[in-house]
Structure 1
Amino acid sequence: MTKKDLMKKLEELLAEKKMCKIETFSGKIGWNDNKAIIEGAIKCLEATDEEMNDYLTVFKLKYPNSYNTIVNNGNWLTHSHNRYYVYTSVKAILA
């Protein structure tokens, strides 16, 4: 897929999840990011809420203090940073 196609798919998934953006520590994922990062964001958004809750359980076991912060910060599934952070952290743990 081209970067244009990836960005279009990312925007569609963001609208479907009722999110305006996905953020990392370095900023919003967008045109300046490489294709691998955009594909990771797409995979994160394609994961079902049930899968993400399973990921959150794994995250809780490894990082209990961060888990408390994320859970107390509102709906983490639609939060611009927390969903992607949990997804990438658990992918690294399970790798």
Structure 2
Amino acid sequence: MITENQYFDGNVKSLGYTTAEGKSTVGIINPGEYEFGTADKEIMYIVEGELSALLPEQTDWKIFKAGSQFEVPANASFKVKTDVQTAYLCQYR
């Protein structure tokens, strides 16, 4: 089953699916700054574009370009910002 997700007035959209390893989403982030909360550990892969992330317990934004990834622990929040449309794959583990 594929689920459609939309956040921040449609500026972040994704399609969700489940595999034997767990849930994942693949989506697009429009230019802007957004804050997300996690229920599970999240592994975020940048597929195309780039974004900056302010990860939990960090004070400096870090840039992630296409081909890079970062992890966010469960029950945390993090911010992302981008100047270009950015495609991602997020795995919930």
TM-score, normalized by length of structure 1?
0.25
TM-score, normalized by length of structure 2?
0.26
- Between Structure 1 and Structure 2, the one with more strand by share is 2
Computing the radius of gyration from Cα coordinates, the structure with the larger value is 1
- Between Structure 1 and Structure 2, the one with more helix by share is 1
